[in-house]
Amino acid sequence: MNNNQNKMTHHLLKTPLLFMLLAIVAILFSVYGAVIMTETGQANNVNRTWVIFYYQYNWLFALISLVSLAMLIGMNEQYKLWKTSFLLIFSFVVIGSLLVANLMVPMMFPDRQHDAQYISISDADKLLKEKESVYAVEINGDAVAYPRRFIGLPHIAGTNIGGEDIVMTYCGLSGLPVVFSETYNGRPTKFEVLGQTHNNLLLVERKSGELIQQITGVTEFSQSKLDTYANQEMSWGTYKKLYPEGRVYLYKFDRTIDSRLIASFKPKLKKQYDPEQGPLFPTLALKDNRLNNKTRVWGVIANNKQAAYTKPYLQTMPLINTKIDNIPIVVYYDKELDVVNFFKREINGQVVKIAKIDTYGNSPQGKLERFPSYNGLMWMVWVHFYPETALY
């Protein structure tokens, strides 16, 4: 009899310990993801590799959390260790954290890769101010403007421009627009916003499962470089002059949550763009003091070399014939239109020296091909990813 009593006592002692262990596992594995994959983690300087690790094994984290929670509920039915109300709250936190970690960001930023709306110049003129910033993408004479105001929330919008299927992406934290090809490895893509690391957009391509850091355009797992297209930053008034037959991307802000998101982002972005304050998220190296961290630069990458130009420099040197890693490039700042342009300095395979050119790329030697650039992003983000960059 005494032996049976000892066994029962031992069992009862083990039950609360196992119960608490399951509770700890369920809450830790779920909350971990909610922290890692949201602003909370970046605000606490969480390493980028942690974000990648969670993304790769999020199914395992979710499985462990949910199995632990199910076992917890079963044990509580038998031993009544927690009140039902507390168990409901606990379950809500676990499941809610998993939803936050895996679904919140795509729901906040609704990609418009395959259902973007475009309007005419005349219709857009009723909505946009003359000096409002837009990003113009021109391919084969066809042009589309992406107003910063409209691309800032969805971050992603796609269409066909001049016979090429493209995806415009925009990161508000770094101020960077990048235009990617709609295909990857010969297949159509489905881009979504996964989050941000180092104050720059982190994208996920759902069909392949690849992650892409926007500023590098390199896939995380296969280390492939996505094809990109050129874009130009300009005012709305300038776009109308240059491309009077162009189209304009429109985001209607027609979801209930949109106005709340815009209101919550406004003070954060104000801090991010304030030259007297540090970055919103302390995940940048900030070791290069050649410029103020918030100075906007126009960057270009050729093979394995990078160069960045400030607008004050280009105002004194508006036409530059140069080579970056042996790629001949001409940099042209149109003072009248206030537009920075990069062109490949070749015509029919021959390198040329350009003495005169316009924003369309027309020169006495012929029309030059645009060269993809990184327009108007913050120095602190550019130099974090490209610490060996030349600076002009």
pLDDT at 71 over 90: yes
Distance from C-alpha of 29 to C-alpha of 27, rounded to nearest angstrom: 6
For tokens 């219709």, name the residue: 123
pLDDT at 175 over 80: yes
Q: Which of 233, 240, 243, 231 is nearest to 129 (CA)?
A: 240
Inter-residue contact 295 to 378 (CB < 8 Å): yes
Region of 308 please: left (phi>0), alpha (psi -120 to 50) or beta: beta
Burial, 136: exposed, middle or buried (Cβ in 10 Å; 0-12, 13-18, 19+)?
Answer: buried
pLDDT at 10 over 60: no
State the chain's maximal CA–CA distance in angstroms. Answer: 106
Report residue 222 as tokens.
């296969």
Distance from C-alpha of 148 to C-alpha of 161, rounded to nearest angstrom: 19
Q: Which of 37, 32, 9, 45 is nearest to 106 (CA)?
A: 37
- Give me the residues paired with residue 134 across strands: 147, 234
pLDDT at 114 over 70: yes
Distance from C-alpha of 147 to C-alpha of 248, rounded to nearest angstrom: 8
Per DSSP, the chain holds a count of helices (H) and strands (E) of 12, 27
Q: What is the Cα 17 distance to its own chain's centre?
A: 44
Inter-residue contact 167 to 191 (CB < 8 Å): yes
Residue 8: predicted pLDDT:
43
Report residue 177 as tokens.
């627009």
Inter-residue contact 174 to 182 (CB < 8 Å): no
Residue 115: predicted pLDDT:
96
Collapsed DSSP state (helix, strand, coil) of residue 240: helix
Inter-residue contact 322 to 331 (CB < 8 Å): yes
Inter-residue contact 184 to 178 (CB < 8 Å): no
pLDDT at 11 over 60: no
Residue 16: predicted pLDDT:
87
- Of the pLDDT bands very low, low, confident and very high (cuts 50, 70, 90), residue 1 is very low
Report residue 257 as tokens.
């949550």
pLDDT at 12 over 90: no
Distance from C-alpha of 169 to C-alpha of 192, rounded to nearest angstrom: 10
Q: Which of 132, 371, 362 is nearest to 234 (CA)?
A: 132
Backbone angles phi, psi at 284, to 5 degrees: -100, 155
Mean pLDDT computed over every residue of the chain = 95
- Which pLDDT tens digit goes with each residue over 234-293? 999 999 999 999 999 999 999 999 999 999 999 999 999 999 999 999 999 999 999 999
Its pTM stands at 0.92
Report residue 297 as tokens.
């630069």
Strands 218-219, 210-213: pairing is: antiparallel
Residue 4: predicted pLDDT:
52
DSSP per-residue codes, 12-23: HHHHHHHHHHHH
Overall average pLDDT of the 354-371 stretch = 96
The dihedral built from the CA positions of residue 64, 69, 72 and 73, taken in this order, carries a sign that is negative
pLDDT at 187 over 50: yes
- Give me the residues paired with residue 83 across strands: none
Q: Strands of 200-205's sheet, edge to edge?
A: 191-197, 200-205, 210-213, 218-219
Residue 13: predicted pLDDT:
44
- Of the pLDDT bands very low, low, confident and very high (cuts 50, 70, 90), residue 9 is very low
